[in-house]
Amino acid sequence: MNRIENLFNKKRKSGKSALIFYLTAGYPDLMTTEALLPALEKAGADMVELGVPFSDPIADGPVIQKASSDALEKGATVKKILSIVHRFRKKSEMPIVLFGAFNPFYKFGLEKLVKECARIGADGLLVPDLPPEEAEELISFCDDAGLCHIFLASPTTSPERSRLIVEKSTGFIYYISTRGVTGARDKLDKSILAQVKKIKSLTEKPVAVGFGISKPEHVAWLRGKADGIIVGSALIKEIGKGASVEERVQLASQFTRKLALML
């Protein structure tokens, strides 16, 4: 049982949801990313999805697209991101998921990537453009190394495919709460709760909800209904307001604390 599974087991026993944040690694620079990880944990984050930037967006809205572009211009690479995780792991047990397109992972080498993740203390991989039907090689590598492999379900996922996603996922199932790309929303679709309930009827595995979540009231509404609540674009917007590493950390920490208070 790795850190992701341990986290959800503890949350389930306490009746609470896990608060999960997505960070584009290297935005606006690698130094900021390294400073943000411990700061987010201190402010109330339970897990971080560390986004590996890629030139061709996959379901990314304008905020994350720009963050990825800026990170690439500043020299973010898989190797540098893994180094950040390695240093962070020496002082924290907060779960870290690497979230990224298949292309940079494939270029790095799938088996090499999984072994390196296990060595440095990353806990799982989420590859949005690698469907479970085509992921057997990655699943095998992850299973051998004790890493979670997380897949996505959405409002348009058929019941048959939902069962496959549930079967193939370890750690948790990521439920995309809305059609379209990532980005903060003013309101969340009321159908989310029914969709999460459907997935939960298929499995005992945790279900985390992402896309669009941006406000304390969103967290309060999902509290106790989703096992995990994922926030991405709204946090990256806050980080982008800062002119220095210190300002970015302060803004991100304040935002995180506001959401954590709802749990």
Active site residues: 49, 60
Q: How far is CA 149 from the centre of its chain?
A: 12
CA distances from 103 to 106, 120, 218, 241 (A): 5, 21, 33, 30
Please give the Cα distance from 126 to 139 (Å, whole number): 11
Which stretch of DSSP H or E encloses residue 225? none
Please give the Cα distance from 25 to 87 (Å, whole number): 14
Please give the Cα distance from 238 to 252 (Å, whole number): 6
Cis before residue 38, ω within 30 degrees of 0?
A: no
Question: The tokens 């969709």 sit on which residue?
Answer: 195
Question: Do 229 and 206 contact (CB within 8 A), yes or no?
Answer: no
Please give the Cα distance from 199 to 97 (Å, whole number): 21
Other CB atoms within 10 Å distance of the CB of residue 173 = 26
Q: How far is CA 80 from the centre of its chain?
A: 18
Please give the Cα distance from 112 to 124 (Å, whole number): 14
Sign of CA dihedral 131, 137, 142, 144: positive
Phi, psi of 35 (to 5 degrees): -75, -30
